[in-house]
Amino acid sequence: MKQVISTDKAPAAIGPYSQAIEVNGCVYTSGVIPVNPATGEIPAGVEAQARQAFSNLSNLLEAAGTSMAQAVKTTVFIKEMNDFGKINEIYAEYFTKPYPARSCVEVARLPKDVLLEIEVIALK
């Protein structure tokens, strides 16, 4: 049985999808972008956006009863591959060893023209 996960501590879905779904002890998040859920604002700069996105993701996983430490796979979508190093440094502040498996892809455009989006699969 699947369970919908939702929190007001991460950006609300902006379409016909759930923030996250739990199935058989695994949590699958939708892509999380760097929108401040309290204000709707998007911070300026890739570092601030990365911190906001990872904070949102952490809050979403917490609402699901898990954490970043339980992440097994992440996918990071970035607007500019030249930002990879900056994003990677901040990523390492939120995930610990053993790090989850990860894919990182440069994309042409992201929702609300943000600079990154991240999704995760985590165990409960």
Helix axes 84-94, 46-63, angle to 10 degrees: 30
pLDDT tens digits, 3-23: 999 999 999 988 899 999 999
pLDDT tens digits, 102-115: 999 999 999 999 99
Mention every residue, 6+ apart, whose C-beta is less than 8 A from residue 114.
33, 34, 35, 42, 49, 53, 79
Q: Which domains does the chain have, with CATH numbers?
A: 2-123 (3.30.1330.40)
* Catalytically annotated residue among 26, 48, 63, 104: 104
DSSP string, 92-109: HHH--SSPPEEEEEE-S-
pTM: 0.96
pLDDT tens digits, 25-76: 999 999 999 999 999 999 999 999 999 999 999 999 999 999 999 999 999 9
Give the tokens for residue 6.
């939702």
**Helices assigned H by DSSP within 34-108:** 46-63, 84-94
Sheet strands side by side (includes 116-123)? 2-5, 20-23, 26-29, 116-123, 71-78, 101-106
26 catalytic per annotation: no
What is the predicted pLDDT for the residue at 120? Answer: 98
Alpha carbon distance 45, 50 (integer Å): 9
Per the listing, tokens 């699958």 go with 28
